[in-house]
Chains A and B, each alone.
Chain A
Amino acid sequence: MSVLVVAEHLQGRVRDVTYELITAARELGGPVVVAVIGSDPGSLDVNRTGVDEIVHVRVEQEEFESDVYQHALEALVNERRPRAVLLGFTVNSMGFAPAVATKFGLGLATDVFALALEGASVVATRAFYGSKVHGEVEFVPDEPVVLLLRPTAWAPSLDAGQATTTEHELAPIVSRARHKEFTEAPKGDVDITTADFLLSIGRGIGEQESIPQFEELAEKLGATLSVSRPIVDAGWMPSSRQVGQSGKTVKAKVYLALGISGAVQHLAGMKASDTIIAVNTDPEAAIFGVAHYGAVADLFDVAEELAKIA
């Protein structure tokens, strides 16, 4: 039985998660089929080691629209009956994959970070209760299962492959949610993606009035100040400073995290940093799982001492 990967692309570029999905599909075993849905699917290169077949699903729309992707995936699932459909746990996939699973009565799991095959059945591992416990989940037997995989959980497949290509014609449909344009979030004064040393602050700072204290500390330390999502959501700092999946992906030499518990989306944006140091009052905070050095301490106490000696 085949494994169907749905390629993700944006503005004419294949997104990295697609190559990670290919790795996961290879691990699961069976012919690996990659579907590229778009107005010019041939311009998007997904031919990587381990891919057996690429299906070009030609549609009117160049960019993602949820009804179009749903229509295309339904046609492919009906035609191929794959063991599993793999997609990224991304904003696009969240917009249509659950609808396909609901309509066809298929198994569905999102934010999956480990997969296994037991007999003919897929078993997926995902987190529950705010990532404090993990759970193995299983699905309706003998039906394709729709899986949205956590970005960065699998290594990308990057070597060129030898896949065959199939063209798939799709009848046009009425798209009820139409792409109009892309706009960039406003560019900030600094580029946190190129900084060697990031001082990163999170929800633990408690209130907006604390921000200047950390701006001063960053300056003393020679660090660039970055933040986790709650600080941007609260409007305390611009989104150009945000580290994480919805913000920037950083790869600093030193990443010093104060009061950041470590949501999955945040960790995905900073775990490639060379040295990660985390200070948090909660000894169970997820950030200690990726940090190289950790301290269970009040971030204000440590920040004040750092300001004295920096």
Chain B
Amino acid sequence: MKLVVAVKQIKILGDEVEFTADGRDVDPDFLDRALNEWDACATEEALQLRERLGDCEVVVVTVGDDESEGALRRCLAMGADRAIRVDARTLDPITTARALAGAVMGESPDLVLCGVQSADSVQGATGVALAQLLGLPRVAVVNRVEWSGSGPATVQRELEGGLVDVVEVDTPAVLTIQTGINQPRYANLRAIKQAEQQEITVVPAADEGSPAFTVRRMFAPPRGEGATMLDGSPAEVAQSILDIVRERLA
């Protein structure tokens, strides 16, 4: 049996920002990288399924440049068996899904897991776009998975306001995984070192086609009225807060 997890090395912007010369993106010098939190949960869920089902391979796939391999190595250190990087630079979810589709299809997975969304772009669309390209059923925003390894799976969708929708989904399927479903395991130092040595398969992207959107311009968010800032020592700030609270609740 095979489980494929699509993951992303997200880009994290610090306090300072400068834009590229064409104004369509952030200057990469201002970006740090890390494994997307939702994808860590998707990987953890795949590892737990492997532990429950036995005889099962967990393959992680990403799209990006060689710096994106950090995400794959983190997943390998957590316990994934194999990693594939599709060599492409994408920003929108549909182009990303197209880049992933060939590599994922080539694995003939029994189940595909993705994170609900990435913390940097918050599109919440790549997994469902991928399901369409693979011709698979899908359930988005899953916070519980029950599956015997064959036949339909019973999963829970976390709706707004705390309501849970119990869904029976045919497999193979694509599930997008919500945080809170599990606590992603920490990799120990030895596993991290071993993952550094593991080979990552690099494949070219297929025809990208037209993107979901193109960015015309990026800009710093306009400053609103903003908050009235309370200055001073912690004691002074605490006193100001208490004064406001008492006045407003009076």
What is A's interface to B at a CB cutoff of 8 Å? 10, 15, 63-64, 66-67, 89-92, 94-99, 101-103, 105, 107-111, 123-124, 127-140, 148, 151, 176-185, 196-197, 221-222, 229-230, 232-235, 239-240, 242, 245-249, 253-254, 256, 264, 274-279, 282-284, 288-289, 291-298, 301-302, 304-306, 308-310
B143 nearest CB neighbor, chain A only: A246
A300 nearest CB neighbor, chain B only: B234
Q: What 17 additional pairs, Cβ within 8 angstroms, besides A137-B216, A185-B164?
A: A66-B139, A94-B128, A99-B129, A130-B120, A133-B17, A133-B221, A177-B173, A178-B169, A182-B165, A183-B166, A230-B179, A232-B180, A246-B158, A275-B248, A282-B15, A297-B237, A298-B234
B187 lies within 8 A of chain A by Cβ = no
Which residues of chain B are near A66, meaning CB under 8 Å?
128, 137-140
Do A124 and B166 have beta carbons less than 8 Å apart?
Answer: no
Do B160 and A245 have beta carbons less than 8 Å apart?
Answer: yes
Pairs across A and B, CB under 8 Å, 14 listed? A110-B124, A129-B12, A129-B31, A133-B221, A135-B217, A180-B168, A246-B158, A254-B245, A254-B249, A275-B248, A289-B227, A293-B229, A304-B234, A308-B238
B239 nearest CB neighbor, chain A only: A309
Do B180 and A233 have beta carbons less than 8 Å apart?
Answer: yes
Give the distance in Å from the alpha carbon of A71 to the alpha carbon of B105 in the complex: 23
Do B220 and A179 have beta carbons less than 8 Å apart?
Answer: no
When A94-B140, A98-B132, A135-B218 are in contact, do A284 and B237 touch as well, CB less than 8 Å? no
Q: Which of B120, B214, B224 contacts A138 (CB 8 A)?
A: B214
When A99-B132, A105-B209, A139-B213 are in contact, do A234 and B183 touch as well, CB less than 8 Å? yes
Which residues of chain A are near B17, meaning CB under 8 Å?
129, 132-133
B180 nearest CB neighbor, chain A only: A233
When A91-B160, A246-B162 are in contact, do A177 and B234 touch as well, CB less than 8 Å? no
Do A123 and B162 have beta carbons less than 8 Å apart?
Answer: no
Interface of A is mostly: mixed
Interface size classification for chain B: 35 or more
Do B230 and A295 have beta carbons less than 8 Å apart?
Answer: yes
Which residues of chain A are near B133, meaning CB under 8 Å?
102
A145 nearest CB neighbor, chain B only: B213
A70 nearest CB neighbor, chain B only: B132
Do B216 and A138 have beta carbons less than 8 Å apart?
Answer: yes
When A129-B11, A229-B179 are in contact, do A94 and B241 touch as well, CB less than 8 Å? no
Which residues of chain A are near B169, meaning CB under 8 Å?
176-178
Which residues of chain A are near B178, meaning CB under 8 Å?
246
Do A135 and B241 have beta carbons less than 8 Å apart?
Answer: no
Which residues of chain A are near B230, meaning CB under 8 Å?
293-295
Do B163 and A94 have beta carbons less than 8 Å apart?
Answer: no
Do B137 and A67 have beta carbons less than 8 Å apart?
Answer: yes
When A102-B129, A137-B214, A274-B248 are in contact, do A183 and B242 touch as well, CB less than 8 Å? no
Which residues of chain B are near A184, meaning CB under 8 Å?
162-164
Give the distance in Å from the alpha carbon of A279 to the alpha carbon of B229 in the complex: 10
Q: Which of A64, A177, A288 contacts B137 (CB 8 A)?
A: A177
Do A254 and B248 have beta carbons less than 8 Å apart?
Answer: yes
Which residues of chain A are near B216, meaning CB under 8 Å?
123, 135-138
